[in-house]
């Protein structure tokens, strides 16, 4: 196991201990097994590593561990095949480090690093898994269909219920978040209003 993965696991465990909302959503997994995962590079990995605007007070170690492990991660192409896929993936990147297809295998949850560059709106989407976002660095505006939008900063969390449509807008700063899934861990997200995408 690469040291960078081990450092990241420690940082994630610390976050679960530090943030009650994470602990309530999902205790840190107890069934972790090491798995080999083929790295899949994404240009956003380099953008994230060079981004000086990912400021944070309390999650410096977690942020730095996510950046350091970035080149080892299997960055996802979830929406690459869609009409807005290339644009979306030029601004939004993610890799999994806890879960089914991750270096730390577990059946109890999935845990992702999410990074979005400034000035992008990631459209409404939904999935059966329940989800919580913990903002680690930067900030973003979170939207849940039918609710007022909220700007989240490091330490803030946002819960999404099963199939509850949600979206994410960055303005002048990027955002890095730790995203956890529980429940249905296999069904992929889909856009809520695909007909509205251009």
Looking at residue 30, what DSSP letter applies?
S
Supply the minimum distance, in Å, between the C-beta of residue 166 and Fe ion: 6
Q: In this complex, which beta carbon is closest to Fe ion, that of residue 71 or of residue 194? A: 194
Tell me the HSE value of 112 on the side-chain side, using a 13 A CA sphere: 21
Supply the minimum distance, in Å, between the C-beta of residue 135 and Fe ion: 14
Q: In this complex, which beta carbon is closest to Fe ion, that of residue 42 or of residue 130? A: 130
* Contact positions vs Fe ion (CB under 5 A): 131
| Number of Cβ within a 10 Å radius of residue 160 | 20
Supply the minimum distance, in Å, between the C-beta of residue 169 and Fe ion: 14
Supply the minimum distance, in Å, between the C-beta of residue 185 and Fe ion: 13
Looking at residue 52, what DSSP letter applies?
T
Looking at residue 75, what DSSP letter applies?
B
Q: Are 35 and 102 a contacting pair, CB within 8 Å?
A: yes
CA pair distance 109, 104, nearest whole angstrom: 11
What angle (nearest 5°) sits at the alpha carbon of residue 75, between those of residues 70 and 81?
155
Supply the minimum distance, in Å, between the C-beta of residue 160 and Fe ion: 6
Using CB positions, name the residue nearest to Fe ion.
131
CA pair distance 158, 136, nearest whole angstrom: 12
Q: In this complex, which beta carbon is closest to Fe ion, that of residue 7 or of residue 82? A: 82
Supply the minimum distance, in Å, between the C-beta of residue 65 and Fe ion: 22
Q: In this complex, which beta carbon is closest to Fe ion, that of residue 5 or of residue 122? A: 122
Q: In this complex, which beta carbon is closest to Fe ion, that of residue 51 or of residue 131? A: 131
CA pair distance 192, 152, nearest whole angstrom: 22
Q: In this complex, which beta carbon is closest to Fe ion, that of residue 131 or of residue 139? A: 131
**Alpha-helical regions (H) of 77-181:** 85-91
């Amino acid at each position: 196991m690469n040291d960078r993965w081990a450092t990241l696991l420690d940082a994630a465990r610390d976050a679960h201990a530090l943030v009650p909302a994470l602990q309530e959503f999902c205790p840190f997994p107890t069934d972790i097994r090491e798995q080999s995962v083929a790295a899949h590079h994404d240009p956003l990995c380099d953008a994230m590593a060079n981004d000086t605007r990912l400021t944070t007070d309390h999650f410096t170690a977690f942020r730095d561990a996510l950046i350091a492990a970035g080149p080892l991660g299997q960055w996802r192409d979830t929406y690459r095949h869609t009409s807005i896929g290339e644009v979306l993936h030029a601004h939004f990147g993610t890799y999994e480090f806890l879960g089914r297809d991750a270096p730390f295998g577990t059946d109890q949850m999935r845990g992702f690093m999410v990074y979005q560059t400034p000035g992008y709106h990631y459209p409404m989407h939904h999935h059966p898994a329940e989800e919580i976002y913990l903002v680690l660095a930067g900030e973003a505006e979170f939207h849940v269909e039918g609710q007022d939008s909220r700007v989240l900063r490091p330490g803030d969390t946002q819960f999404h219920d099963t199939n509850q449509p949600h979206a994410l807008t960055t303005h002048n700063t990027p955002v890095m978040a730790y995203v956890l899934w529980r429940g249905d861990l296999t069904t992929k997200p889909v856009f809520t209003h695909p007909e509205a995408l251009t």
